[in-house]
Amino acid sequence: MLYIHHCTCISPQQTFDDIDLEKLHKPGNSKLEVMEPAYKGIPAGALRRMGKAIRMGVGAAMPIVKHVAPDGIIIGTANGGMEDCIKFLNQIIEYDEGLLTPGNFVGSTTNAIAGQLGLIANNHQYNVTHVQSGLSFENALLDAAMFIAEDSSLQMLVGGVDEISDYNYNIDWLGGWYKQESFEKQDFYKAESPGSIAGEGAAMFLVSGSPTNAFAKLDAMHFFHSTDAAMIANELSGFIKKHAADEPIDLFLTGENGDSRYTHYYQACECVIDQDISVARYKHFCGEFPTSSAIAVWLAVQAMNKGSVPAHFIKKPGEKTAPKRVLIYNHYKASQQSFILLSLP
């Protein structure tokens, strides 16, 4: 379907530059905030005016676009630069629609990440942002796949980016989506209480239809809306029969997020998976946010190419310790479901 030639990630862990997947950084104030790098390659003047989401997205993409001029920039984000948006709206009230800060306005739209990246990279090709909440990144992948199905020589930059904004965090906190108690990260999945932990991050991928020099292959994906655990398990069973019957998967990577209200979704799906397959989880690594599946894809690529999965990800070990085919299952707020299947090329 798609071949991944380059990928980068900025997350709450050491995933940029010197990658270290073994060490885990503890959350602060019920938030897993990103470890922001020095953002080499972004002009200082532009960097000062960027909100956090734009910094993360552009910063993660710069190592790719400085070597390759992609034929399209496709970003998936649920909220974009929400923090800048709220600042701008507050200024409208504070200054009575007078002298407003243009930087906050420019950075307030969801397409600001893709737009700024196109401007800095001087890229005038296809430039679009998908905003479908928890399926934003999946729709960005689908968009790239449709282009490459028509012309396999195209190289598309696809990414998923979301930040923790005070506005969204407060709303989700009041909505019961985050845990009210403090806890250590190693107890994340044992809390047996409602809510997860807020996260953020950015992952970028250079994809094409050519297997030459590719790190991984995206074989298939399927996403849909449902709150019925039995139906989700049935969809997963059909997905496996269709795409992984001849080449079985080695690792089942899930977005289990410590929210006791929705653990049964993952349990239902794990019952579909063969008993000898390893089961791993990743939300303790990056937290919960709409486009966290982009981080999962990045982690899957790392695991397949390194030939191992750090122990803290593993929920249930399987027969194979070096994964060559990974199936990702994630849901966002119990309604948006997605499966992504990756393998070594």
Give CA separation, 315 vs 4, 244, 273, in Å.
27, 22, 13
Q: Is domain 216-343 classified as CATH 2.40.400.10?
A: no
Residue 185 — very low, low, confident or very high, per pLDDT cuts 50/70/90? low
The proportion of the chain whose per-residue pLDDT surpasses 70, expressed as a percent, equals 92
Mean pLDDT estimate for the chain: 91
269: alpha, beta or left, given left = phi > 0 and alpha = psi -120 to 50?
alpha
Q: Contact 176/195 with Cβ under 8 angstroms?
A: yes
Lowest mean pLDDT among 79-93, 127-141, 153-167: 79-93
pLDDT of residue 151: 96
CA atoms within 13 A on the CB side of 151: 7
244-284 residue pLDDT tens: 988 899 999 999 999 999 999 999 999 999 999 999 999 99
pLDDT of residue 170: 84
User: pLDDT per residue over 161-180, tens digit each?
Assistant: 999 988 888 888 888 999 88
147: left (phi over 0), alpha (psi -120 to 50) or beta: alpha
Average pLDDT for 295-319: 96
Distance CA 260, CA 242 (A): 31
pLDDT at position 25: 86
- Binned at pLDDT 50, 70 and 90, residue 319 comes out as confident
Pick one of 3.40.50.2300, 3.40.50.1170, 3.40.47.10, 3.30.70.890 as the CATH number of 2-208: 3.40.47.10
Task: Tell me the β-bridge partners of 252.
Answer: 279, 327
Q: Which amino acid is at 18?
A: D
198: tokens are: 């807020």
Q: Do 216-343 and 2-208 have the same topology in CATH? A: yes
Measure the CA–CA gap between 249 and 15, rounded to whole angstroms: 25
pTM beyond 0.75: the answer is: yes
Query: With bands split at pLDDT 50, 70 and 90, how would you rate the model's confidence at 118?
Result: very high
Mean pLDDT of 91-102: 70
Predicted pLDDT at 219: 97
Q: Residue 89: what pLDDT?
A: 72
- Residue 113 binned pLDDT confidence (cut-offs 50, 70, 90): very high
- Other Cβ atoms less than 10 A from the Cβ of 21: the count is 18
Which pLDDT value is given to residue 166? 83
Q: Domains of the chain: which residue ranges?
A: 2-208, 216-343
29 torsion bin: left (phi>0), alpha (psi -120 to 50), beta (else):
left
